[in-house]
Amino acid sequence: MLESVNGGRWLDLAAGSRIGAGPVQRQENQDNYLVINGAGRADFLRSGQGASAQVGGWPPGQLRLAVMDGMGGHGHGREAAELVAAGLLAIPACSELAALSHHLEQLHFALQGRFDALHEAGPRPGTTLTMLEIPPSGSPLLWHAGDSRLYEITQAAAAPLTVDHVPATVLAMAGMLDEAAWWRHVHGSHAPQIAQAFILGNTLVDPARLDDGLVGLDAATLPPWLRALPDRRAIELRPDATYLLATDGFWSCRDPAEFVARWPRLFARGDAQAGLEALFAEMEERPPVGLQPDNLTAIVLRLRQGGRDETALPA
Protein backbone atom coordinates (compact mmCIF):
# COMPACT_ATOMS: atom_id res chain seq x y z
CA MET A 1 0.00 0.00 0.00
CA LEU A 2 1.09 3.60 -0.55
CA GLU A 3 0.53 6.20 2.17
CA SER A 4 0.99 9.96 1.85
CA VAL A 5 3.45 11.54 4.28
CA ASN A 6 4.58 15.14 4.75
CA GLY A 7 6.67 16.90 2.13
CA GLY A 8 4.87 15.45 -0.88
CA ARG A 9 6.33 12.01 -0.26
CA TRP A 10 4.74 8.57 -0.24
CA LEU A 11 5.44 5.65 2.07
CA ASP A 12 5.23 2.19 0.53
CA LEU A 13 4.14 -0.37 3.18
CA ALA A 14 3.73 -4.13 3.46
CA ALA A 15 3.17 -6.34 6.51
CA GLY A 16 2.96 -10.05 7.14
CA SER A 17 3.16 -12.69 9.85
CA ARG A 18 3.65 -16.45 9.68
CA ILE A 19 3.77 -19.22 12.24
CA GLY A 20 7.30 -20.03 11.07
CA ALA A 21 9.46 -21.55 8.34
CA GLY A 22 10.95 -24.97 7.79
CA PRO A 23 9.81 -28.47 8.72
CA VAL A 24 9.65 -27.84 12.49
CA GLN A 25 7.29 -25.06 13.58
CA ARG A 26 5.60 -23.85 16.73
CA GLN A 27 2.01 -24.76 17.49
CA GLU A 28 0.68 -21.21 17.28
CA ASN A 29 1.69 -17.74 16.15
CA GLN A 30 2.47 -15.73 19.28
CA ASP A 31 3.64 -12.72 17.28
CA ASN A 32 1.41 -9.83 16.30
CA TYR A 33 1.62 -6.61 14.34
CA LEU A 34 -0.35 -3.43 13.91
CA VAL A 35 -0.59 -1.15 10.90
CA ILE A 36 -2.85 1.90 11.15
CA ASN A 37 -2.83 3.65 7.80
CA GLY A 38 -3.49 7.28 6.98
CA ALA A 39 -7.24 6.69 6.69
CA GLY A 40 -7.49 5.04 10.13
CA ARG A 41 -7.76 1.46 8.89
CA ALA A 42 -6.00 -0.90 11.29
CA ASP A 43 -4.68 -4.35 10.37
CA PHE A 44 -3.52 -6.82 13.03
CA LEU A 45 -3.86 -10.44 14.19
CA ARG A 46 -6.67 -11.85 16.30
CA SER A 47 -6.30 -15.46 17.47
CA GLY A 48 -3.48 -15.78 14.98
CA GLN A 49 -5.61 -14.70 12.00
CA GLY A 50 -5.66 -11.44 10.07
CA ALA A 51 -8.23 -8.89 11.26
CA SER A 52 -9.02 -5.24 10.65
CA ALA A 53 -10.86 -2.35 12.28
CA GLN A 54 -11.55 1.31 11.68
CA VAL A 55 -10.08 3.75 14.20
CA GLY A 56 -12.46 6.63 14.84
CA GLY A 57 -11.11 10.17 14.76
CA TRP A 58 -7.74 9.13 13.36
CA PRO A 59 -5.87 12.15 11.89
CA PRO A 60 -5.57 11.90 8.09
CA GLY A 61 -2.06 10.91 7.08
CA GLN A 62 -0.97 9.64 10.52
CA LEU A 63 0.63 6.17 10.53
CA ARG A 64 1.30 3.71 13.35
CA LEU A 65 3.42 0.60 12.73
CA ALA A 66 4.32 -1.98 15.38
CA VAL A 67 5.57 -5.55 15.77
CA MET A 68 5.12 -7.65 18.92
CA ASP A 69 6.66 -11.00 19.88
CA GLY A 70 4.80 -12.68 22.74
CA MET A 71 6.91 -14.64 25.21
CA GLY A 72 5.53 -18.15 24.85
CA GLY A 73 7.81 -19.59 27.51
CA HIS A 74 6.09 -17.42 30.11
CA GLY A 75 2.58 -18.48 29.11
CA HIS A 76 -0.09 -16.33 27.47
CA GLY A 77 2.42 -15.12 24.88
CA ARG A 78 -0.13 -14.81 22.10
CA GLU A 79 -2.62 -13.13 24.40
CA ALA A 80 -0.02 -10.63 25.63
CA ALA A 81 0.91 -9.57 22.10
CA GLU A 82 -2.74 -9.47 21.05
CA LEU A 83 -3.71 -7.28 24.01
CA VAL A 84 -0.90 -4.86 23.22
CA ALA A 85 -2.11 -4.63 19.62
CA ALA A 86 -5.63 -3.94 20.90
CA GLY A 87 -4.31 -1.39 23.37
CA LEU A 88 -2.45 0.45 20.62
CA LEU A 89 -5.76 0.90 18.81
CA ALA A 90 -7.04 2.91 21.78
CA ILE A 91 -4.00 5.19 22.13
CA PRO A 92 -4.61 8.53 20.39
CA ALA A 93 -2.35 9.61 17.55
CA CYS A 94 0.83 11.20 18.90
CA SER A 95 3.26 13.72 17.44
CA GLU A 96 5.62 13.94 20.43
CA LEU A 97 7.68 11.26 22.16
CA ALA A 98 6.63 12.33 25.64
CA ALA A 99 2.95 11.81 24.84
CA LEU A 100 3.56 8.48 23.13
CA SER A 101 5.67 7.20 26.03
CA HIS A 102 3.05 8.32 28.56
CA HIS A 103 0.28 6.39 26.82
CA LEU A 104 2.44 3.29 26.38
CA GLU A 105 3.49 3.25 30.03
CA GLN A 106 -0.17 3.51 31.05
CA LEU A 107 -0.98 0.56 28.79
CA HIS A 108 1.98 -1.41 30.18
CA PHE A 109 0.83 -1.04 33.80
CA ALA A 110 -2.84 -1.64 32.94
CA LEU A 111 -1.99 -4.95 31.26
CA GLN A 112 0.32 -5.88 34.14
CA GLY A 113 -2.61 -5.45 36.50
CA ARG A 114 -4.85 -7.50 34.24
CA PHE A 115 -2.50 -10.49 34.24
CA ASP A 116 -1.52 -10.12 37.91
CA ALA A 117 -5.20 -10.36 38.82
CA LEU A 118 -5.22 -13.93 37.47
CA HIS A 119 -2.91 -14.97 40.35
CA GLU A 120 -1.26 -17.61 38.20
CA ALA A 121 1.96 -19.38 39.14
CA GLY A 122 5.08 -18.65 37.12
CA PRO A 123 6.46 -15.49 35.57
CA ARG A 124 4.23 -12.72 34.28
CA PRO A 125 3.57 -12.75 30.51
CA GLY A 126 5.41 -10.34 28.28
CA THR A 127 5.89 -9.23 24.70
CA THR A 128 8.34 -7.16 22.75
CA LEU A 129 7.12 -3.91 21.23
CA THR A 130 9.01 -2.06 18.52
CA MET A 131 7.01 0.65 16.80
CA LEU A 132 7.07 3.73 14.60
CA GLU A 133 4.59 6.58 14.98
CA ILE A 134 4.65 8.68 11.81
CA PRO A 135 2.71 11.97 12.05
CA PRO A 136 1.65 13.80 8.88
CA SER A 137 4.15 16.53 9.77
CA GLY A 138 7.30 16.19 11.81
CA SER A 139 9.72 13.31 12.27
CA PRO A 140 8.81 9.64 12.70
CA LEU A 141 9.00 8.54 16.35
CA LEU A 142 10.65 5.26 17.40
CA TRP A 143 9.65 3.45 20.62
CA HIS A 144 11.29 0.15 21.53
CA ALA A 145 11.19 -2.48 24.28
CA GLY A 146 12.57 -6.00 23.96
CA ASP A 147 14.58 -7.72 21.23
CA SER A 148 12.53 -7.19 18.10
CA ARG A 149 14.35 -4.75 15.81
CA LEU A 150 14.16 -1.91 13.34
CA TYR A 151 16.67 -2.21 10.49
CA GLU A 152 17.76 0.29 7.85
CA ILE A 153 18.67 -1.60 4.68
CA THR A 154 20.68 -0.04 1.86
CA GLN A 155 22.48 -1.57 -1.11
CA ALA A 156 25.58 -1.87 1.07
CA ALA A 157 24.30 -3.28 4.38
CA ALA A 158 21.46 -3.94 6.81
CA ALA A 159 22.09 -1.86 9.94
CA PRO A 160 20.11 -2.23 13.19
CA LEU A 161 18.57 1.01 14.49
CA THR A 162 17.58 -0.52 17.84
CA VAL A 163 19.46 -2.09 20.74
CA ASP A 164 18.34 -5.52 21.96
CA HIS A 165 17.27 -5.61 25.61
CA VAL A 166 19.18 -8.78 26.43
CA PRO A 167 21.70 -9.84 29.11
CA ALA A 168 24.65 -8.94 26.86
CA THR A 169 23.43 -5.34 26.74
CA VAL A 170 23.17 -5.27 30.53
CA LEU A 171 26.79 -6.46 30.72
CA ALA A 172 27.89 -3.83 28.20
CA MET A 173 26.14 -1.10 30.20
CA ALA A 174 28.10 -2.27 33.26
CA GLY A 175 31.39 -2.12 31.35
CA MET A 176 31.79 -5.90 31.35
CA LEU A 177 31.57 -6.36 27.55
CA ASP A 178 33.44 -4.31 24.96
CA GLU A 179 32.05 -3.37 21.56
CA ALA A 180 33.39 -6.39 19.68
CA ALA A 181 32.14 -8.83 22.30
CA TRP A 182 28.70 -7.18 22.41
CA TRP A 183 28.26 -7.39 18.63
CA ARG A 184 29.44 -11.00 18.68
CA HIS A 185 26.96 -11.94 21.43
CA VAL A 186 23.96 -9.99 20.08
CA HIS A 187 24.35 -10.03 16.27
CA GLY A 188 26.70 -12.97 15.76
CA SER A 189 24.66 -15.50 17.73
CA HIS A 190 21.18 -15.83 19.19
CA ALA A 191 19.93 -16.83 22.63
CA PRO A 192 16.28 -16.83 23.83
CA GLN A 193 16.94 -14.51 26.76
CA ILE A 194 15.50 -11.07 27.37
CA ALA A 195 16.14 -8.31 29.91
CA GLN A 196 13.05 -6.18 29.25
CA ALA A 197 9.62 -6.77 27.78
CA PHE A 198 6.30 -4.96 27.63
CA ILE A 199 3.97 -6.13 30.46
CA LEU A 200 6.75 -8.27 31.99
CA GLY A 201 9.01 -5.46 33.25
CA ASN A 202 12.79 -5.18 33.25
CA THR A 203 16.07 -6.39 34.73
CA LEU A 204 18.04 -3.60 33.09
CA VAL A 205 18.31 -1.57 36.30
CA ASP A 206 19.10 -4.51 38.57
CA PRO A 207 19.87 -7.86 36.88
CA ALA A 208 19.03 -9.68 40.12
CA ARG A 209 15.48 -8.31 40.38
CA LEU A 210 12.55 -7.95 38.01
CA ASP A 211 11.24 -4.40 38.21
CA ASP A 212 7.67 -3.68 37.11
CA GLY A 213 8.55 -0.57 35.12
CA LEU A 214 10.02 -0.03 31.68
CA VAL A 215 13.37 1.65 31.03
CA GLY A 216 14.20 3.68 27.93
CA LEU A 217 17.92 3.21 27.27
CA ASP A 218 19.57 6.45 26.19
CA ALA A 219 22.94 8.20 25.84
CA ALA A 220 23.31 8.34 29.62
CA THR A 221 22.93 4.57 30.09
CA LEU A 222 24.20 3.00 26.86
CA PRO A 223 27.92 2.36 26.22
CA PRO A 224 29.64 4.83 23.85
CA TRP A 225 29.29 2.68 20.73
CA LEU A 226 25.50 2.45 21.15
CA ARG A 227 24.68 5.99 22.29
CA ALA A 228 23.38 6.95 18.86
CA LEU A 229 20.60 4.34 19.22
CA PRO A 230 18.41 5.33 22.18
CA ASP A 231 15.18 3.37 22.51
CA ARG A 232 12.90 6.38 22.21
CA ARG A 233 13.84 8.98 19.63
CA ALA A 234 12.89 10.78 16.45
CA ILE A 235 14.39 9.24 13.33
CA GLU A 236 14.80 10.14 9.68
CA LEU A 237 13.60 7.91 6.85
CA ARG A 238 15.99 8.00 3.91
CA PRO A 239 14.59 7.66 0.37
CA ASP A 240 17.51 5.40 -0.62
CA ALA A 241 16.81 2.85 2.13
CA THR A 242 14.30 0.18 3.08
CA TYR A 243 13.17 -0.10 6.70
CA LEU A 244 12.25 -3.39 8.33
CA LEU A 245 10.41 -3.85 11.63
CA ALA A 246 10.81 -7.52 12.54
CA THR A 247 10.59 -10.10 15.31
CA ASP A 248 13.56 -12.29 16.16
CA GLY A 249 12.43 -15.36 14.25
CA PHE A 250 14.36 -13.96 11.30
CA TRP A 251 17.68 -14.24 13.14
CA SER A 252 17.00 -17.20 15.46
CA CYS A 253 19.78 -19.27 13.92
CA ARG A 254 23.41 -20.28 14.34
CA ASP A 255 24.89 -17.38 12.35
CA PRO A 256 22.46 -14.43 12.24
CA ALA A 257 25.02 -12.09 10.66
CA GLU A 258 25.29 -14.33 7.61
CA PHE A 259 21.54 -14.30 7.03
CA VAL A 260 21.13 -10.55 7.66
CA ALA A 261 23.93 -9.93 5.14
CA ARG A 262 21.60 -11.33 2.43
CA TRP A 263 18.95 -8.69 3.03
CA PRO A 264 20.32 -5.92 0.77
CA ARG A 265 19.96 -8.35 -2.15
CA LEU A 266 16.43 -9.34 -1.14
CA PHE A 267 15.24 -5.73 -0.92
CA ALA A 268 17.23 -4.38 -3.89
CA ARG A 269 14.32 -4.18 -6.32
CA GLY A 270 10.57 -3.89 -6.36
CA ASP A 271 8.13 -2.40 -3.89
CA ALA A 272 7.68 -3.14 -0.20
CA GLN A 273 5.39 -6.10 -0.88
CA ALA A 274 7.96 -7.67 -3.22
CA GLY A 275 10.65 -7.23 -0.58
CA LEU A 276 8.47 -8.80 2.10
CA GLU A 277 7.69 -11.79 -0.11
CA ALA A 278 11.38 -12.19 -0.98
CA LEU A 279 12.27 -12.25 2.73
CA PHE A 280 9.70 -14.95 3.53
CA ALA A 281 10.72 -16.94 0.44
CA GLU A 282 14.36 -16.83 1.51
CA MET A 283 13.39 -18.26 4.90
CA GLU A 284 11.56 -21.14 3.23
CA GLU A 285 13.85 -21.90 0.30
CA ARG A 286 17.31 -21.01 1.64
CA PRO A 287 16.91 -20.93 5.44
CA PRO A 288 19.87 -19.87 7.58
CA VAL A 289 21.98 -22.62 9.11
CA GLY A 290 20.66 -23.83 12.44
CA LEU A 291 17.27 -22.14 12.08
CA GLN A 292 15.20 -22.50 15.27
CA PRO A 293 11.40 -22.87 15.27
CA ASP A 294 9.99 -19.37 15.80
CA ASN A 295 7.26 -17.08 14.52
CA LEU A 296 8.04 -14.58 11.78
CA THR A 297 6.55 -11.08 11.61
CA ALA A 298 7.72 -8.14 9.52
CA ILE A 299 6.65 -4.71 8.34
CA VAL A 300 8.54 -3.27 5.36
CA LEU A 301 8.49 0.42 4.50
CA ARG A 302 10.12 2.54 1.82
CA LEU A 303 9.95 6.27 1.31
CA ARG A 304 9.18 7.45 -2.22
CA GLN A 305 10.00 11.00 -3.24
CA GLY A 306 7.75 12.98 -5.57
CA GLY A 307 4.34 12.04 -6.90
CA ARG A 308 2.36 8.89 -6.28
CA ASP A 309 3.40 5.92 -8.36
CA GLU A 310 0.26 3.88 -8.88
CA THR A 311 2.28 1.01 -10.39
CA ALA A 312 3.76 0.38 -6.92
CA LEU A 313 0.41 -0.55 -5.46
CA PRO A 314 0.12 -4.28 -4.70
CA ALA A 315 -2.34 -6.26 -6.78
Domain count, the chain: 1
Measured at the CA of 106, the angle between CA 101 and CA 109, to 5 degrees, comes to 120
Q: pLDDT tens string for the chain (315 positions)?
A: 777 665 567 889 999 999 988 777 788 999 999 999 999 999 999 999 999 999 999 999 999 999 999 996 656 889 999 999 999 999 999 999 999 999 999 999 999 999 999 888 778 899 999 999 999 988 999 999 999 999 999 999 999 999 999 999 999 999 999 999 999 999 999 988 999 999 999 999 899 999 999 999 999 999 999 999 999 999 999 999 999 999 999 999 999 999 999 999 999 978 999 999 999 999 999 999 999 999 999 999 998 765 444 333 232
CATH number, residue 176: 3.60.40.10
Domain that holds residue 283: 2-312
Q: How confident is the model at residue 6, as a pLDDT?
A: 59
Interstrand relation of 233-234 and 141-145 (parallel, antiparallel or unpaired): antiparallel
For 123, 242, 286, the CA distances from 157, given in Å and listed in that order, are 38, 11, 19
Q: How confident is the model at residue 131, as a pLDDT?
A: 98
The rounded distance, in Å, linking the Cα atoms of 304 and 155 is: 16
Q: For every residue of 210-255, which 3-state class applies, written as one string?
A: CECCCCCCCCCCCCHHHCCCCCCEECCCCCCCEEEEECHHHHCCCC
The rounded distance, in Å, linking the Cα atoms of 230 and 169 is: 13
